[in-house]
Amino acid sequence: MDRRKSLKALAVGTISAGVFVEACKNGKDKNALVSKDTDAGGKKFGYDRQPEEIERYNEVTAKTFFTGHELATITVIGDIIIPRDEVSGSASDAKVPEFIEFIVKDMPQHQVPMRGGLRWIDMQCFKRFEKSFVDCSEEQRITMIDEIAWPKKAKPEMAAGVSFFNLIRNLTATGFYTSEIGVKDIGYMGNRPNQWKGVPPEVLQQYNLAYDERELNETVKFD
Amino acid sequence: MAAYILAKEGLKVCLIEAGPMYDPKKNVTQLKNPWESPRRGASTRFRPFGDFDASYWGWQIDGEPYTHKDNTKWDWWRTRMIGGRTNHWGRISLRFGPKDFKRRSIDGLGDDWPITYEDVKPYYDKVDRLIGIFGSIEGLDNEPDGIFLPPPKPRLHELMIKKAATTAGVKVIPSRLSILTTALKDNQDRGSCFFCSQCNRGCTVYADFSSSSVLVNPAIKTGNVDVLTNAMAREVLTDTNGLATGVSYVNKEDMQEYQVMGRTVIVAASACESARLLLNSKSARHPNGLANDSNVVGKYLHDSTGAAMGGILPQLFDRKRYNEDGVGGLHVYSPWWMDNKKLDFPRGYHIEYWGGMGQPAYGFGFGMENLNGKYLVKGKQKEAGGYGKSLKEDYRYFYGAGVGMAGRGEAIAYESNYCEIDPTIVDKYGIPVLRFHVKWSQHEINQAKHMKETFKEIMHNMGAIVTWGDNGPEDDYGLEDPGKIIHEAGTVRMGSDRKKSSLNKWSQAHDCKNLFVVDGAQFVSQADKNITWTILALSMRASEHIVSEMKQQNL
């Protein structure tokens, strides 16, 4: 067959011309086609990963993005946003700075706004207090944060700081409420095998709702 | 489905898959906590629906581009793994109704199918029994009931939606999902649902439907199936008579070319990928590509329409906590309830709903400055934004109050919407790629407008505040770009006129009798019903036909 000749020609120089098999017809191809273990990263990650994802993870984590000073600033601001309270710990207790370091490498669109915002806040502090943000007293830090934490009442010249604080508030909150401490704090009670028996009766009562006959009789029941 | 039916009948089958092997029991992301993902479940280009989603790849695949013509838009979803996109889909399993097979007779647009609901009904019944689906008997005229397992009770926000929608004249009924709320009769391989709401991650006990766990695994067990993974099909091979003889593919692991020979070739690579394979299968007998004497392969490409709206329910602020995960997806939905004769668009849509106390993931808490200054928190007016203990109180206060809805509607299948081979671009395997040309018509835009009006009324009736999705004519009422809903169909359609269709009513090529196409490509139109259940029914029907034709020596 001419066609097969031309295919063979293509293969020369890579492995060998002898690898062509008619797979299902003669079943000789088994060795050539053993699939890679797709769960290669399973042990390291604890969940299913593709080789490309493992490569991406290794690439991202091989680099360090924030300087020590930047990370210290993120930590201080993070704990101002999410401090320890009577319910749960702080952002740094939940390792939020480590999350932010990872996520800006994984989502490069955050890199310039974060780095620039950290620089912006330091420059503001130098002008006001002749110190970087982390070197300021607690009182000075809060004075600075109060200038940028309230979008509606912030002065127009603070707009860049407001944008930065909105971003770091978002990343800190997301990092915190997706941590073990944060999920417990927010009260998410799922992600475990259970039986869905419907809305608890006292909640139905609170909202003055009730299941109708069909919803009671025709839905799934458990022993 | 085809591999399953044929292998069960004792035929030898070779299943060719472009991605790796996948089994949700072994490749687990289910029941993982958000902190186990370094990106907290955020999406990546490898998993666009989130770091725990089961789908390998999605909108883009490294080294496998696609292009667009005339600045048109088409987002093409491709999953590369055993079971394909059935590993992450919404499990919404709706039968087409009698009207859905003869839309041209009703509104003069598109074409009628060469088959009717009565032709497909026995296969829907068999699919229901084989795979399992929950739902409720409603007796609606174009939403045929199936053989249902009991549905789950509505969640709290779903009860509120039901009340509000019913007031607006929109019917709300239990959803119809292929999830085993109770054990499936005569099936020892699959467990029943334990209500973690994570079907899109794949189910370790096979309580939901994915081809990988429910069809491919038992097919392999018969001993009649060889599975070739990481095998990228290049073309369907034909002999001098124009009959299919096999498939040529690239083994991605050694980058060598291989051929598989067989009596019959069945294509089910997803609508656009199937069209691509056939268009790339040129020969002296089929100079235009295989199954393409009619020149319709690639044409009539259409996706569901989609438009959505989200908001918050103030009555759910500061709500009591409990586990309301439920099944993976909605417990109630709204089938199309109106008569198009009274409307300025020809086809219907159904509504899907969401809300409640979901698992936190990347993006949780974003935009609090837009919420906490607007609504009283525990009776106090606060300044927007902020930090500290007061801010932590706000996150707790607003958690679980979100609600939303989306329409999924029927678009008209037009000849002018198509995918074709881009003459200048090949992928990394040297296979010519697809170029898309798809545009919405005014029909779809008017339908999106109607969706938004309906959503607003439902939101208003339950006292919800709309926070996004209140689009106007400037952006076509938020109508999603075509392709986005991932219900592509129509590219290798069936029909009784071989000049206007590729396949006959048995999913068999008019111009190549031992070639069958059994995915969404064969659809003439796709109703407003997610297409999976009909793909399964038609694939089963075609497979049984193949067996019968082989017994009669016709194949």
Residue pLDDT, tens place only, B340-395? 999 999 999 999 999 999 999 999 999 999 999 999 999 999 999 999 999 999 99
Cβ-nearest to B251 among A33, A162, A206: A33
Tens of pLDDT, residue by residue over B61-103, are 999 999 999 999 999 999 999 999 999 999 999 999 999 999 9
Q: On the CB side of B407, how many CA atoms lie within 13 Å of its CA? A: 32
Minimal C-alpha gap between A13 and chain B (Å): 11
**B534-545: average pLDDT:** 98
Minimal C-alpha gap between B156 and chain A (Å): 6
Q: Which amino acid is at A4?
A: R
Listed by number, the residues of chain A in 156-185 with a beta carbon closer than 8 Å to a beta carbon of chain B are: 162, 165-166, 169-170, 173-180, 182-183, 185
DSSP B441: -
By the 8 A CB rule, do B70 and B437 touch?
yes
- Report the residue of chain B nearest A216, measured CA to CA: B153
- Report the residue of chain A nearest B13, measured CA to CA: A24
**B259-281: average pLDDT:** 98
Its sign, for the CA torsion B289, B290, B293, B297, is negative
Tell me how crowded residue B407 is: count the other CB atoms within 10 A of its CB. Answer: 29
- Report the residue of chain B nearest A172, measured CA to CA: B365
> Which residues lie closer than 8 Å to A193 by C-beta, 6 or more apart?
B31, B194, B195, B196
What are the Cα distances from residue B522, in Å, to A40, B493, B526, B550? 37, 4, 10, 22
Minimal C-alpha gap between B438 and chain A (Å): 30
Beta bridge partners of B266: B516
- Substitution target in A25, A31, A35 with the highest count of B β-carbons within 10 Å is A35
- Substitution target in B81, B236, B392, B395 with the highest count of A β-carbons within 10 Å is B392
Strand runs labelled E in B36-119: 67-68
Phi, psi of B251, rounded to the nearest 5 degrees: -80, 115
pLDDT score, position A19: 34
Question: For residues B352 and B14, what is the distance between their CA atoms, to the nearest angstrom?
Answer: 38
Tens of pLDDT, residue by residue over A2-54, are 444 444 433 333 333 333 333 333 433 333 333 344 444 455 789 999 999 99
pLDDT score, position A44: 72
ipTM of the complex: 0.96
pLDDT score, position A4: 43
B148 touching A (Cβ < 8 Å):
no
Classify burial at A19, counting beta carbons within 10 Å of its beta carbon; exposed 0-12, middle 13-18, buried 19 or more. middle
Longest CA span, chain B: 81
Which is nearest to B230 in space by CA: B519, B3, B13, B16? B16
CB contacts, 8 Å: A182 with chain B: 360
Question: For residues A110 and A94, what is the distance between their CA atoms, to the nearest angstrom?
Answer: 21
Tens of pLDDT, residue by residue over B470-487, are 999 999 999 999 999 999
Listed by number, the residues of chain B in 403-462 with a beta carbon closer than 8 Å to a beta carbon of chain A are: none
Provide long-range contacts, Cβ within 8 A and 24+ apart, for B232-235: B232/B18, B232/B429, B232/B431, B233/B16, B233/B18, B233/B269, B233/B277, B234/B280, B234/B429, B234/B431, B235/B277, B235/B280, B235/B281, B235/B282
Q: What is the mean pLDDT of chain A?
A: 86
Coil, strand or helix: which one is B495? coil
Cβ-nearest to B153 among A14, A99, A215: A215
pLDDT score, position A11: 38
pLDDT score, position A20: 36
pLDDT score, position A43: 59
pLDDT score, position A45: 85
**B158-187: average pLDDT:** 97
Q: Is the pLDDT assigned to residue B165 strictly greater than 90?
A: yes
Which is nearest to B212 in space by CA: B22, B355, B476? B22
| Contact between chains at A183 and B34 (C-beta distance less than 8 A) | yes
> Which residues lie closer than 8 Å to B345 by C-beta, 6 or more apart?
B443, B444, B446, B447, B450
| Contact between chains at B261 and A24 (C-beta distance less than 8 A) | yes
Tens of pLDDT, residue by residue over B500-510, are 999 999 999 99
| Contact between chains at A150 and B197 (C-beta distance less than 8 A) | no
Listed by number, the residues of chain A in 13-52 with a beta carbon closer than 8 Å to a beta carbon of chain B are: 14-15, 19-25, 27, 29, 32-33, 35-36, 38-39, 42, 45-48, 50, 52
- Substitution target in B35, B136, B396 with the highest count of A β-carbons within 10 Å is B35
Listed by number, the residues of chain A in 108-137 with a beta carbon closer than 8 Å to a beta carbon of chain B are: none
Identify the weakest region by mean pLDDT among A7-21, B302-316, B401-415.
Answer: A7-21
Q: Write down the pTM of the prediction.
A: 0.94
Minimal C-alpha gap between A132 and chain B (Å): 20
CB contacts, 8 Å: B191 with chain A: none
pLDDT score, position A223: 80
| Contact between chains at A199 and B22 (C-beta distance less than 8 A) | no
